[in-house]
Amino acid sequence: MIVSSTVFTVFFRHRVRRMGHWPFVLVAVAMHLAAYVLVLINVPADAPLGVTYDDALLIVPSSKAVALTASTLLGLGGGLIDTQTLTMLASVYKHRAPQVHTHMHMKNLVISDGDF
């Protein structure tokens, strides 16, 4: 998410100023929905949490490429929505911008620590 936040900040800064934050938030939501659909499509037939059968309701065979695409979409969407949330909060609380940035960075550290 750090890489995607940096990329979106560097390359799309001028478009955000012109278009506003909400179109980018909607793009992030669409990325997350597409990733969740890909994850559901890619569930293997021999999933470890219960009895499954080879002729289960698989739409496509499980694939590493689909799993990597879903994880990339989740990372990009998460970075995009995190960046937009930070800029929205910083614009609302202009007099407390350093506290907002500190709060968001600490939140990201706690979330990344929880992932491990």
pLDDT tens profile 18-69: 777 778 888 889 999 999 999 888 876 666 665 555 555 566 677 788 889 9
In a domain, 17, yes or no: yes
- Burial (CB < 10 A; 0-12, 13-18, 19+), residue 73, is buried
Q: Are the C-beta atoms of residues 24 and 84 closer than 8 Å to each other?
A: yes
In a domain, 11, yes or no: yes
Residue 76, pLDDT above cutoff 80: yes
Q: Using alpha carbons, list the distances in angstroms from residue 38 to 50, 52, 73.
A: 21, 19, 10
| pLDDT the model gives residue 36 | 93
In a domain, 69, yes or no: yes
Mean pLDDT of 74-80: 86
Provide the domain count of the chain: 1
Q: Which residues have a Cβ under 8 Å from the Cβ of 1 and sit 6 or more positions away?
A: 75, 78, 79, 82, 108
In a domain, 98, yes or no: no
Question: Does the pTM of the predicted model rise above 0.75?
Answer: no
Cα 68 to Cα 96: distance, rounded to the nearest angstrom: 39
Mean pLDDT of 4-15: 67
In a domain, 23, yes or no: yes
In a domain, 48, yes or no: yes
What's the domain range around 70? 2-83
Q: Are the C-beta atoms of residues 114 and 107 closer than 8 Å to each other?
A: no
Cα 10 to Cα 7: distance, rounded to the nearest angstrom: 5
In a domain, 89, yes or no: no
In a domain, 33, yes or no: yes
**What are the φ/ψ torsions at residue 2 (nearest 5 degrees)?**
-65, -45
